[in-house]
Amino acid sequence: TKKVKMRKIHLLLATATIYLCLPAAECVFEKTIESFLKELSVRMCHPIPNLGLPALDPLTVNHAETAMDNKYLIDFTGSIDNFKVHGLSDFVINKLSINIVPGVTRSTINVTFPYTYLKSIYTAKGSLAYILNLAGDGNAETTITDFNFEISWRIKASIGPLAITALKIDMLLGDLKINFDNLLEEERINNFVHALVNEMGVELLGDIWNYEQPTAIDKVETIINSKLPDLLKLITGGNGGEGPPVFDGVEPDCKSE
Ligand SMILES: *[C@@H]1O[C@H](CO)[C@@H](O)[C@H](O)[C@H]1NC(C)=O
């Protein structure tokens, strides 16, 4: 009977939203999400324990390593130290429209990260297809300009827990530049690879994304649906002037203005 009750609450919630989102009335969900994101962005230099998040701006990984043992002709061991990503809290919301009515109308969120900067000390050793020898060791830097994505979905028309369906993710990349100290043993090839990525990186990533998209989207949809009830609770939980209690104890002091 607890389940039945939850269903009734969802139905009520959906019905309530229909009325709240009638033209001329302001949509409560957009407002709530917008203020949640705003409260989040000014706290992203701190970990947020209630969300299980580490500090995100800068996002820091002290040490990590990985190896690929001749899979796909790549023989590789690599590590990163003092890895930092800057700029994740500078997101701009271009579009946000939420429709919680099941069926036809899509919800959309469109976000831009104007400038993201990754820096790390790295090692990359091994060979690619037995031809290219990696000799990587030193600083690695990557800058990403105007990374924009748009996610849209519909609410699943079914009895049961609130779920999304028909997820769509589109991405646009303004520019991508890399600089890895001594990545490849041979200098000419090293220069060539850097030039290739710096000239073509945007297109290359686009191709990879188009190729991997169906699998990625299925995975993301599953993850979202498994977390959706908790996520809604976190975002909508309380709306006093101080922001949702999920931010309790985390100072909103990350942006000095
Ligand atoms: C996001 O919105 C902007 C402005 O409406 C649009 O130009 C852009 O194409 C959208 N992004 C994606 C990835 O569709």
**Is 246 domain-assigned?**
no
CA atoms of 257 and 254, how far apart (whole Å): 10
How many angstroms is it from 154 CA to the middle of ligand 1? 18
Report whether pLDDT(91) > 50.
yes
Domain of residue 162: give its range. 51-224
Residue 195 burial class via C-beta count within 10 angstroms: exposed 0-12, middle 13-18, buried 19 and up: exposed
**What radius of gyration do the chain's Cα atoms show?**
22
More confident call, 93 vs 227: 93
From first CA to last CA, the distance across the chain in angstroms is 51
CA atoms of 44 and 190, how far apart (whole Å): 36
**Is 127 domain-assigned?**
yes
- Counting ligand 1 atoms within 8 A of each CB, the residue from 93, 94, 147, 202 with the most, and so the one to mutate, is 94
How many angstroms is it from 110 CA to the middle of ligand 1? 7
**Is 14 domain-assigned?**
no
CATH number of the CATH domain containing 199: 3.15.10.30
Task: Report yes or no: 172 and 145 within 8 Å, Cβ to Cβ.
Answer: no
For the stretch 1-49, pLDDT in tens is 556 666 666 666 665 555 555 554 456 778 888 888 999 999 999 999 8
- Would the CB of 150 count as within 6 Å of ligand 1? yes
**Is 212 domain-assigned?**
yes
CA atoms of 162 and 11, how far apart (whole Å): 9
Report whether pLDDT(215) > 90.
no
- Would the CB of 149 count as within 6 Å of ligand 1? yes
**Is 145 domain-assigned?**
yes
For the stretch 134-173, pLDDT in tens is 888 899 999 999 999 999 999 887 777 778 889 999 988 8
**Is 251 domain-assigned?**
no
The number of domains in the chain is 1
Residues in the chain: 257
- Would the CB of 95 count as within 6 Å of ligand 1? yes
**Is 109 domain-assigned?**
yes
Using N-to-C axis directions, what is the helix angle for 28-41 and 2-20, rounded to 10°? 100
- How many C-beta neighbours within 10 Å does residue 130 have? 10
**Is 22 domain-assigned?**
no
Residue range 71-96: mean pLDDT, rounded: 89
